[in-house]
Amino acid sequence: MDIVGFLKSQFICHLLICYIFIVSGLIINFIQLFTLILWPINKQLFRRINCRLAYCISSQMVMLLEWWSGTDCTLYTDPESYHKYGKENAIVILNHNFEIDFLCGWNFCERFGVLGSSKVLAKKELSYMPVIGWMWYFLEIVFCKRKWEEDRKTVVQKLLNLRDYPENFWFLIHCEGTRFTEQKHQISMQVAKAKGLPKLKYHLLPRTKGFAVTVQCLRNVVSAVYDSTLNFRNNENPTLLGVLNGKKYHADLYVRQDVPEDEQECSTWLHKLYQEKDAFQEEYYRTGTYPAVPVIPPRRPWTLLNWLFWALLLLYPLFKLLINMINSGSSLTLASFAFVIIIASVGVRWMIGVTEINKGSTYGNNDNKQKQK
Do 215 and 327 sit in the same domain of this protein? Answer: no
- Give 345's pLDDT tier (boundaries 50, 70, 90): low
- Asked which of 116-120, 302-306, 328-332 is least confident by mean pLDDT, the reply is 328-332
Does some domain include residue 294?
Answer: yes
* Confidence band for 318, pLDDT divided at 50, 70 and 90: confident
Q: Which residue range is the domain that position 221 belongs to?
A: 3-302
At 351 the pLDDT is 60
Mean pLDDT for the stretch of residues 343-366 = 59
Residue 366 lies in a domain: no
Residue 146 lies in a domain: yes
- Residue 187 shares a structural domain with residue 244: yes
| Last residue within a domain, chosen from 274, 302, 330 | 302
pLDDT tens, 63-112?
Answer: 999 999 999 889 999 988 899 999 999 999 998 888 888 899 999 999 99
Q: What is the number of alpha carbons within 13 Å of residue 148 lying toward its C-beta? A: 12
Q: Which of 68-82, 114-128, 345-359 has the lowest mean pLDDT?
A: 345-359
Domain end, chosen from 277, 302, 327, is at 302
One domain for residues 298 and 345:
no
Strand partners, 227: 93, 256
pLDDT of 180: 85
Element of type H or E holding 302: helix 302-328
- Per-residue pLDDT of 261-285, as tens digits, reads 665 678 888 989 999 999 999 999 9
Q: Are residues 325 and 205 in the same domain?
A: no
Is 60 exceeded by the pLDDT of residue 148?
A: yes
Q: What is the pTM of this model?
A: 0.88
The type of residue at 164 is: D
In a domain, 175, yes or no: yes
What is the per-residue pLDDT for 149?
75
> How far is 188 from 101, CA to CA, in rounded Å?
20
Residues 6+ apart with CB under 8 A from 206: 175, 176, 270, 271, 273, 274
Same domain, 272 and 348: no
137-164 average pLDDT score: 87
Same domain (yes/no): 180, 222: yes
pLDDT at 341 exceeding the cut of 80: no
Looking from the CA of 13 toward its CB, the CA atoms found within 13 Å total 14
**Quick one: which of 142, 104, 100, 84 has its CA closest to 258?**
84
Other CB atoms within 10 Å distance of the CB of residue 351 = 17
pLDDT of residue 299: 92
Phi, psi of 95 (to 5 degrees): -75, 160
How far is residue 236's CA from residue 5's CA, in Å, rounded to a whole number?
Answer: 19
Domain count, the chain: 2
In sequence order, the β-bridge partners of residue 256 are 227
Q: CB–CB of 103/243 below 8 Å?
A: yes
Query: What mean pLDDT do residues 289-314 have?
Result: 94
Angle, helices 11-35/331-353, rounded to nearest 10 degrees:
80
User: How far is C-alpha 329 from the chain's CA centre?
Assistant: 44
